[in-house]
Structures are given as structure tokens and as C-alpha cells.
Structure 1
Amino acid sequence: MRQELMSLPKGLAEDVSRNLVMVAKLIDEDPEQAYAYSRIALRLASRVAAVREAAGFAAYATQKYSEALAEFRAARRMTGSTELWPVMADCERGLGRPERALAMAGEPEVQKLDKAGQVEMRLVAAGARRDMGQLDAAIVTLQSPELASSAVHPWTARLRYAYADALLAAEREAEAREWFAKALEADKDGSTDASDRLAELDGVEFVEVEEIDDADANEQDEAAAETGEADRGGEGDEDVVVDAAADDTDVADEVAPESDDKR
């Protein structure tokens, strides 16, 4: 990407770079904001492939699939790379055209993908099968040497999870539980919710503890304050009684000598 930006004037390259950095930073936590930054970069440098690709991913993250597909196609024309082929096929799914996604899964471009890209293409094809109501075909699509391998790769957890989810949809619960467990074993960075799905299958329920809101807390504080004042008030009354008793004693002491004198 840096090399591509070097073709731009220095000031422009810096502006584009800053926007692309914000796209990468926000695309997961705030995709709408990332999309806004991508549009700025696109307006500044639409002839840079990295900018078109970033704009495509930002549009994809906000489910603007038609726009994303157009940007990915533009980036592919500029670079000649097939790297974006799986996500382009997934855009077709997003547009309600799963049959096109399946057609792309059978194109020669798939053979040019690296292993990660081929696994991603398999996931997209299986998703397209499910979109078309072909659940058994989706399960078969996911069955592959990559799924059977005990080695763990960045895509392993997602592949196992997709297989488990398809099995569960087919009401093969015991097998689904086994593969959710295998997905959890491979999911080192928490990219799936395999642990939650596994707990659900095991009948584990999580109870959320509700926090007392500020209003309730204030009411409790006021009630406690009133109780404290009442307690202090009671203590004051006792003091008054004790003081009164002491005064009576003093009076008695003063009167007693007068009685002796009279006798």
C-alpha cells in the first residue's frame, strides 16, 4: 500500500494514509465511521487500488454489498489479483444471489487462491448452499482435508464452527456438539461464540446479575439516612431522661439539708 501511495503527491499521500489508518482502526468497532473515512480516501485517490479495496471492505462491513462488490471489482482490475474472489462471492450472497456465489466457487480463479483463500471460498459456497435450502449439500461442501486436519490455522476455528452450525441445523446435535468443542479448542482469539453454543447444548444457563440503578441507590441512601436520624433522635431522648433524673437528684440533695435545720 505504501508503494501505491508513493505515486501521489506527498501532502495528498499523507491525507489518504491517515484516512486509511482510521478505516483499519474503526472497521470492527464502528463500521459506519470507518465507511465515512473510506469515502474521504476514495474521493482523494480513487485510482489507488488499496483505497478501492479499503472502501470495499468498509462498505461490506456496513452491508452495502452492491457498493462493496463494485469496489472489489475495481481493485481486482487494477491489480489482477484473485485475492478478493471469496469476499466478492459473499457480496453476491448478500445481494440475494447465492447461485452466482456458487458459480464463482467453481471458477478457475479459486485454484489461484492460497490455502486460506480456498477455505474462505469453501465457507462462502457452503453458506450459499444453505441460502438455497440445500443443508445436506452445505455439510458436504465443508467436509474437506482442512476440516479433518488436527493442525490449527487462523481459519480452523471458523471452518469447524461453520460445520458444527450446519450439523445443528440438520438436527445432528451430538455431532454438532463435538465440532463446537473442536472449534473452541482452535479459537485462541475468541473469533467465534463456540463456547456459548457449546454451553447452550449442554443446558448451561447464565444468569445476569442486575445492577441497582442510580435512582434505587439514591432511595436506599435516603432511607438509610432517615433511619440514622431516627436512631440519633432516640438516643437524644434517652439523654434528656438521664439529664432529668440527674436534675431531680440535685434538687433532692439541696432540699435535704433544709429539712435537717428545721428539726
Structure 2
Amino acid sequence: MDDRKPPRDSARGNSSRPSSRPSSSSSSRPASGPNKDRRREDLPARGGSSDRRGATRNVSAGRETIDPRGFRTTPMERDQSRIRPRIFEPDIPEDVTGEELEKSVRAELLSLSAENAKVVARHLVCINIHMDSDPELAHKHGIAAAHHAGRLAVVRESAGYAAYRAGHYEIALKELRAAHRISGDVSMWPVMADCERGMGRPLKALNLAGSDEVKRLAKPEEIEMRIVASGARRDLGEFDAAVITLTCRELKTETEDWAVRLRYAYADALATAGRGDEAREWFAKCAEIDHEESTDADERARR
């Protein structure tokens, strides 16, 4: 028996199935269809008619026509307002590590990356260092800290106090409002009210002083709010009302840290209202408890 396979040509010729490979020549088939009289090079690229919407295959040309697929703008064409601007960051002394902060404050920075948390902590320490000696520098450190950790209430609050001490009341109010929105803490309410005074808006300061949030203040902040509200009354020329605002039983207190400030503010309000004798009496009472001589109460008591 002959085991040899039949020749290839013989096998192809005997097969009843059409070949899966297209013929290399199309001359045997007549042209047909709507494009039978057009040359191949005149036909549109594969995929459709050249006058169809979105048919352009040249990317640069496609941007000049309607392209349903859309296109991504180059970086220079994007909205520059959404790019985070760089800021000036004041130098931080090498001996400031960030460990100087209280543990409770450092704990609030744990949501940051380790590297960012250290940078923010060092800026916060610098705020404390320069708050009294160089308020403007402390303010710059506050800006830097808020830039790195703007979603943390403790950072926005610190930046707000630094701006307040430097006299940047609008910035301070913005930062303190942000801190309040994040944390719900109302302890900064008196400073916010004083910022309104600093911007020449005593009525807004009084609105804050009369808000429901004041009921949640601790005693030290409550006293501060009284002092601010009294100042707002003076700004409006309501000198007697300024005295009444500070008339409270807490004037008898001698041992609390806020007692000196309250007595001094009360005596000053009396002096502004033209009640000189009463003012000197309360300046003297203020001097009695002002052991650190933080005010000029003793001097004003002798005028």
C-alpha cells in the first residue's frame, strides 16, 4: 500500500471548501458598488466616509472640527487657577524639632504623612516662639503650616491667632472660621468678634457676642467676649452701654487669670464715659491684683 500523502496541489484542488486565504489578485472580480468608478487612493480611510462627523484621523486637524471622542488638553491649556501655588516658607531653626508641641497637638497631626507632620509641627513651634517678639514672622509660619495641613482645625486655629496678633484681621477671621467649621469649637469666638472690630465692623462683633455659641463658652472666653462687646459699644459711641456690658459679679473675683483684664477694661470704660472718680477707684482695684504689673493700672489710679 502506498502511504505517501497526495501532493499539495492535488489536495487543494480536490477540496470542496473555499480557501480561507484571499486571492492575491482581484482582477478576476469586476468592481461593484458606489465606489466602482473611483481610484483606491481617492477613497476615504477605512472606517467610513470622509465627510462624516468625527471621521478625521489627524489629531491636530480633529481639534479644529467636532470630535465626539473628545481630546485631552495639553498641560499649558489647563486652568492655571487649579494649580496649587508655591508660597514663601520662612526658615526654621535647626534646633526646632516639633517635639516641643504638646502631645495633644502632635496627636492631631498623625493623619498627615510623617514627613509633612514634622514640617507642620516645626512651623507651629515657631509660631509660639515668635508670637510676642515678632508677630509678623509668626504669621508667616502660620501661613506655611496652613498650606501644608489646611484640613486640620488645630493648624488653622494657630494660623488664625498668629494672623490676629500681627494685625491681619481679615486673614485671621478666615482661618478661625475654617477652624470652627472643621471642629465646631467656639473658644475662638471672642477673637473672631475682635477681628470684626479690627475691620471696622462693630455691629458684626456685637452679633457674634449675642449668638447662641456664646452660651457654650468657658468662663475665661465668656469674659473675653464681654470685653470685646464693650469695646464694640465704644466704637459705636455708646459709652454708657460699654460700662453696662462689663458690669457683672465677676468684677469681685481676684484670683482668676482673667480678673486683671476684666477690672482694667471696666475702669477704662468708666474713664471713657467721663466717670473719672469711679475709674480711678477701679484702676486701683486692678493694680491690687496685678502682681506681675502687666498693666499701667497703678499709674492711672494716681492721675
Q: What TM-score, normalized by structure 2, do the two folds share?
A: 0.64
Of 122, 134, 140, the residue aligned with 1:18 is 122
CA deviation map 1:59-106 (0-9, x unaligned) = 111111111000000000111111111111111111111011111111
| Aligned residues of 2:287 and 2:298 also touching (Cα < 8 A) | yes
Q: For 1:24 and 1:62, locate their aligned partners in 2 and report how far apart those are by CA, in whole Å.
A: 13
Question: 2:142 aligned with 1:38, yes or no?
Answer: yes
Aligned to 1:121: 225
Aligned to 2:98: none
Q: Which of the pair is proportionally richer in helix?
A: 1
Q: For 1:151 and 1:197, locate their aligned partners in 2 and report how far apart those are by CA, in whole Å.
A: 19
Task: Trace 1:239-254 onto structure 2 (pairs within 5 A).
Answer: none
Aligned to 1:191: 294
- Count how many residue pairs are aligned between Structure 1 and Structure 2: 199
Q: For 2:196 and 2:217, locate their aligned partners in 1 and report how far apart those are by CA, in whole Å.
A: 19
Task: Trace 1:181-260 onto structure 2 (pairs within 5 A).
Answer: 181-199=284-302, 201=303
Q: For 2:145 and 2:228, locate their aligned partners in 1 and report how far apart those are by CA, in whole Å.
A: 29
- 1:18 Cα deviation from its structure 2 partner: 0.9
| Aligned residues of 2:253 and 2:259 also touching (Cα < 8 A) | no
Question: 2:257 aligned with 1:172, yes or no?
Answer: no
- 1:189 Cα deviation from its structure 2 partner: 3.0
Q: For 1:196 and 1:33, locate their aligned partners in 2 and report how far apart those are by CA, in whole Å.
A: 33
Partner amino acid, structure 2, of 1:76: H
Aligned to 2:255: 152
- 1:47 Cα deviation from its structure 2 partner: 1.3
Q: For 1:196 and 1:152, locate their aligned partners in 2 and report how far apart those are by CA, in whole Å.
A: 22
Q: What TM-score, normalized by structure 1, do the two folds share?
A: 0.73
Q: For 1:89 and 1:110, locate their aligned partners in 2 and report how far apart those are by CA, in whole Å.
A: 11
Partner amino acid, structure 2, of 1:33: L
Aligned to 1:62: 166
Q: Which stretches in structure 2 are left out of the alignment for 5+ residues?
A: 1-104
Structure with the greater relative contact order (CA < 8 A, sep ≥ 6): 1 or 2? 1
Aligned to 2:155: 51
Q: Percent identity?
A: 52
Question: Larger Cα Rg: Structure 1 or Structure 2?
Answer: 2
Aligned to 2:178: 74
